[in-house]
A and B are shown apart, each in its own frame.
Chain A
Amino acid sequence: MGNGTSIGRVRGLGSAKSGPHHWILQRMTAIGNLLLVLWLVVSLILLPDLSYGTVVGWLSRPVPALAMTLLVISTFWHARLGMQVMLEDYVHEHGNKFACIAALNLVAFAGAAFGVFCVVRLALGAHA
């Protein structure tokens, strides 16, 4: 890579390659979020109340537990992709950008794992 003009240094290199993959994953997880969060919205309305016993009794059943697990995975994945775009737009310094995206990965995976762990604990009857 030479020291020429901006356009001269990138001409012929092609695209960054991973952009379309990120773009399509953002759309696929958006479809998942649309279905799963609307399921949560309807479920919250249909539950007789939101007391501890009612909510645990509902969320411990297999289908709600599975749907909530998928919701946690889909929303955290979508949020990770979206926040990456936001960081890439607003954090200009390369080192800071790398640190922000590394921290985002840690928080996204830890958050999703915690959410799934909570649902699994309820579904397997830790409070039955």
Chain B
Amino acid sequence: MATAGTKNRPLSPHLQIWRWGPHMFVSILHRVTGNGMAVAGLGVLLWWLGALAGGPAAYATFASWMTTPIGYLVLVGISWAFFSHMMSGLRHFVLDIGAGYELTWNKTWSIVAPVLGVVLTAAFWALLLLR
């Protein structure tokens, strides 16, 4: 019954139908970075807090994992996901109040947001490693 009348109904066009633009890229990037952080970012956050609560030995295990090449890749990935998600999220706040839908501005901020995400990630690691 729930599917009655739904056979052969027209489907809305999907990703492969539309001509690609930066607004589509930044929209998907927002979802990927958000869900990526929900899994990896919160996982590492809990491991960090759990290791701190567990004591020096547990923290040493955490630190030794996180200072391997794969550990650094995960940490850089999480920080990049955060700064990218933050910039595309700020773009969503602007869109939420009904601004920024003009074609040129929409395109401009769709490109600027992920670029600033990469710049902020680089700045964060530079400040962290050079202190």
B42 at the interface (CB under 8 A from A): yes
> By the criterion CB–CB under 8 Å, are A45 and B131 in contact?
yes
B17 at the interface (CB under 8 A from A): no
> By the criterion CB–CB under 8 Å, are A6 and B49 in contact?
no
> By the criterion CB–CB under 8 Å, are B1 and A3 in contact?
yes
Chain A interface mostly helix, strand, loop or mixed? helix
- Which listed residue, A5, A48, A59, A82, touches B35 by the CB 8 Å rule? A82
Kindly count the residue-residue contacts between A and B in the assembled complex, taking CB atoms under 8 Å apart.
76
- Which listed residue, B34, B35, B42, touches A111 by the CB 8 Å rule? B42
- Which listed residue, A48, A52, A83, A115, touches B49 by the CB 8 Å rule? A115
B56-105 contacts to A (CB < 8 Å): 56, 59-60, 63, 82, 86, 89-90, 93, 96
A41 at the interface (CB under 8 A from B): yes
Give A contacts to B, CB under 8 Å.
3-6, 27, 30, 34, 37, 41, 44-45, 48, 50, 52, 55-56, 59, 68, 72, 75-76, 79, 82-83, 86, 111, 114-115, 117-119, 121-122, 126-127
Give B contacts to A, CB under 8 Å.
1, 4-6, 9, 31, 34-35, 37-38, 41-42, 45-46, 49-50, 52-53, 55-56, 59-60, 63, 82, 86, 89-90, 93, 96, 124, 127-128, 131
